[in-house]
Amino acid sequence: MVKGAQVAEYDSARCFIYSLHRVVNESVKIQTEVLEAIANERRLETHFNHSGLAHEKLLEIKNELNLPQHQLVQDIKTRCNSTFYLYMAERLLKQKRVISLYVVEHDTLTNLTIQQWGLMKQCTIFLQPIEKITKITSSGFSCISEAIRYFFTGLNSYESFFESGI
């Protein structure tokens, strides 16, 4: 990894990871639909993480539906790792039914729109290759050839992602 980072004129593999996530974060900033969806996701997760009653009610609904007791994951705005959003979105998608049932019973909270749920699913698909590259590059046991292979695999998946019109 060290030699690859030097050839690419990065000070370290961490600079490469930081640059990769910076590109993703800057790209998100110009996508108003994505920004709105993220804001609505944060609002929902903040509600459940800051309200003991809401959290208890969510657990009750999960028990009634015999669903796993997964906690919602709140992302951290100050974190440079764009894939942290991936964890937040994946967990929220797994809890979609439970959240929707809760929102129906509580008129003070609004659910994500159908388009926002779909956009969130697309974002998770889009961020998965970046997550894989981050893990490989961050590993102390990885080599640059492995990271390059996953990087180009990720580029190919993005190309098919955009061609398919998902």
Domain boundaries, the chain: 2-164
Checking if the pLDDT of 48 tops 80, the result is: yes
CA distances from residue 127 to 49, 62, 114 in whole angstroms, order as listed:
24, 27, 20
Among 34-48, 57-71, 137-151, the minimum mean pLDDT is found in 137-151
Convert the pLDDT of each residue in 87-127 to its tens digit.
788 888 989 999 999 999 888 889 999 999 999 898 888 88
Query: What contacts 90, CB < 8 A, 6 or more positions away?
Result: 124
| 133-137 contacts, C-beta under 8 A, 24 or more apart | 133/17, 133/20, 134/17, 134/20, 134/21, 134/81, 134/83, 137/1, 137/13, 137/16, 137/17
